[in-house]
């Protein structure tokens, strides 16, 4: 277990529309997880996803799997 703190960041593609998430990718190597939180509620709940699942999700986004 690591005592490293998450370093949160928002995508550079995020506008100031208030509908953004933040991720802490710095915990992938040490913990194997990607924590995600609502940028409007930084003290609120955090969801942690296995890094392999998060990578697959991002790959699907880039492939256009979620386009309507």
Extents of the domains making up the chain:
1-60
Integer angstrom CA distances of residue 46 from 34, 61, 66: 10, 21, 23
pTM: 0.80
Angle at 52 between CA 4 and CA 35, to 5 degrees: 35
Chain segment 11-66, per-residue pLDDT in tens: 877 776 667 889 999 999 999 999 999 988 999 999 999 999 999 999 999 999 98
* Cβ-contact 10, 20 below 8 angstroms: yes
- Distance, in Å, from the CA atom of 6 to the CA atom of 23, rounded to the nearest integer, reads 8
Q: Are strands 33-38 and 21-23 parallel, antiparallel or unpaired?
A: antiparallel
pLDDT of the residue at 20: 87
């Amino acid at each position: 277990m690591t005592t490293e703190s998450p370093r949160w960041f928002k995508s550079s593609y995020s506008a100031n529309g208030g509908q953004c998430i933040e991720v802490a990718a710095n915990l992938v190597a040490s913990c194997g997880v990607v924590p995600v939180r609502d940028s409007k509620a930084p003290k609120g709940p955090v969801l942690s996803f296995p890094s392999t699942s998060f990578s697959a999700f991002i790959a699907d986004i880039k492939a256009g799997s979620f386009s309507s």
